[in-house]
Amino acid sequence: MKNNNQKTGPLSGLTVIEIEGIGPGPFAGMMLADMGADVIVVERASGKADASTDFGSTDILKRGKRSIAVDLKSDQGRNIVLELVEKADGLIEGMRPGVMERLGLGPDECFTQNPKLIYGRMTGWGQTGPMAQRAGHDLNYIGLSGALWYSGKPGDAPFAPPTLAGDIGGGATYLVIGMLAALLNAKSTGQGQVIDANIVDGSANMMNLILTMVATKTASFERGKSLLDGPHWFDSYKTSDDKAITLGPLEVKFYKIMLEALNLQNDKDFQVQYNPKLWPTQKEKLQAIFITKPQVHWNEVFKGLDACYAPVLNPAEAAEHEHNQARGYYFEKDGILQAAAAPRFSETPTNDKGDIVARGANTNEILKELGMGEAAIARFNADGSVVQSS
């Protein structure tokens, strides 16, 4: 399709159709848009999205995209989407298995229009299996996959950072990887394919480093006994101002620097680093030390040292930290704090400063790009097949 607002970036010239959804699908679309793809979101013509997940003008996941509002249940609305598909490189959908087929927009119909299309499917449980049709969210998926197991203290119920390990890590990231790999394959073979990206598979795959550690006896399936969830030197600690800091000096040379910073280099209780039997007592003693001073004090103590130390910051504080400031990672646009695109490209800068698109803002523009005349566009708007927002 001809986009008059062509962007720069490594994916410039790529067109992706994103069927309106929540969570990982839109996040994947944002990543592709950040990298220069023309991402066209097909949104509900009725505008009746779930109020709990429709963030409107504050939805960062819609930055840099274009929007067309279509009635997918109408013949004309479906035909418009198929026309978009004919000219697109990829499609992202996050419906329950079978919904797109019932709408007449499944892989078979889309491949008839465009055999080179990369059809990206984003679900929690996957397209097949006994739980494929069951409702769920991030925490459920990573609970089933094993990825939640190590998140939390022994004796407590696990709790991971919301959406990060599941929706974004195991979901959106794997969908983008799959889409890009398939696009490269289609470029050489001319053959499109379906990507079954789901959070259970992706987050389980993320466990392979931990499973390597289990195989080498440096990790255990018993919480609190592994190299990265048990030691006193790999944990977070509360400070006197009700904030927290993190330590992670796994290597002996960095551990020694940590001890010297805390004046513990001669303390007999800390001379043995890798004895799991000592870790609980060592943790208690470190917590007793860190709770005596505020976070800013410990920032100064560890400043410039290779002790594998960092404070625990909320996003607003992270945006003000000197390192993130130097990198320009956070930015504010229209009063909304956002994180910049990642990764960074030396020759094809990303497009993360795009506007957050309103529902149906580009409907008529996109229909014109499909070759439709003014009369047809007016008719489709009048009968509700599409909606152009004001």
- The domain segmentation of the chain, as residue ranges, is 15-206+334-387, 225-238+244-311
Torsion sign (Cα): 157, 160, 162, 167? negative
Kindly give the confidence (pLDDT) of every residue in the chain, 390 residues in length, as a single tens digit, with 9 standing for 90 and above. 666 566 789 999 999 999 999 999 999 999 999 999 999 999 999 876 555 557 888 999 999 999 999 999 999 999 999 999 999 999 999 999 999 999 999 999 999 999 999 999 999 999 999 999 999 999 999 999 999 999 988 889 999 899 999 999 999 999 999 999 999 999 999 999 999 999 999 999 999 999 999 999 999 999 988 999 999 999 999 999 999 999 999 999 999 999 999 999 999 999 999 999 999 999 999 999 999 999 999 999 999 999 999 999 999 999 999 999 999 999 999 999 999 999 999 999 999 999 999 999 999 999 999 999 999 999 999 999 999 997
Query: Quick one: CATH architecture of 15-206+334-387?
Result: 3-Layer(aba) Sandwich (3.40)
The residue from 71, 89, 138, 167 that is catalytic is: 167
CA distances from 39 to 18, 80, 153, 255 (A): 7, 16, 41, 47
Residue 137 annotated in active site: yes
pLDDT of residue 7: 78
Number of H helices and E strands in the chain, helices first, is 15, 12
Residue 297 annotated in active site: no
pTM score = 0.95
CB 365 within 8 A of CB 69: no
* Mean pLDDT across the chain: 95
Paired tokens of 361: 């803002």
CA–CA distance, 212 with 227 (Å, rounded to integer): 12
The fourth-level CATH superfamily of domain 225-238+244-311 is formyl-coa transferase, domain 3 (3.30.1540.10)
Q: What is the pLDDT of residues 135-152, one digit of tens each?
A: 999 999 999 999 999 998
Q: What is the pLDDT of residues 177-198, one digit of tens each?
A: 999 999 999 999 999 999 999 9
CA distances from 113 to 79, 86, 89, 128, 315 (A): 11, 5, 12, 25, 44
Percentage of the chain exceeding pLDDT 90: 91
CB 74 within 8 A of CB 49: no
Q: What is the pLDDT of residues 324-373, one digit of tens each?
A: 999 999 999 999 999 999 999 999 999 999 999 999 999 999 999 999 99
